[in-house]
Amino acid sequence: MNYLGWEGNPTMTTNKEEAFKEIATTVTNVIKTYSLNAEKEVDEKFKLQLAHSIYFVTHIYALLKSVADHPKQNEVTDELFDSQILVWQACNSMLAATQLIRQGYPLEPQFLMRVAIESFSLAMSFHLDEKSYTQYKNMKLSGKDCIGTAKKALKEIGQIYGLLSEVTHPSRKTAGNNYNERSGSIIIGGGYDEHLSHRVLFNFSLLNYLLLTLWKGSELIFYSFEDDSKFWIEKDGGYNLKLDDSIKQLVKTIGNDFRTAIDSIDTNE
227-242 pLDDT, tens digit per residue, is 999 999 999 889 999 9
pLDDT of 184 = 61
Distance between terminal CA atoms of the chain? Answer: 18
Whole-model pTM? Answer: 0.89
pLDDT of 186 = 73
Mean pLDDT, the chain, rounded, equals: 89
155-193 pLDDT, tens digit per residue, is 999 999 998 988 877 776 665 556 566 656 677 888 888
Report the alpha-carbon distance of residue 215 to residue 222 in Å, rounded.
10
Angle at 125 between CA 155 and CA 71, to 5 degrees: 115
Report the alpha-carbon distance of residue 82 to residue 78 in Å, rounded.
6
Q: Is 207 helix (H, G, I), strand (E, B) or coil?
A: helix
> Which run of H or of E encompasses 93?
helix 78-102
Question: In terms of residue numbers, what domain contains 245?
Answer: 3-268
Looking at the structure of the chain, the number of domains it has is 1
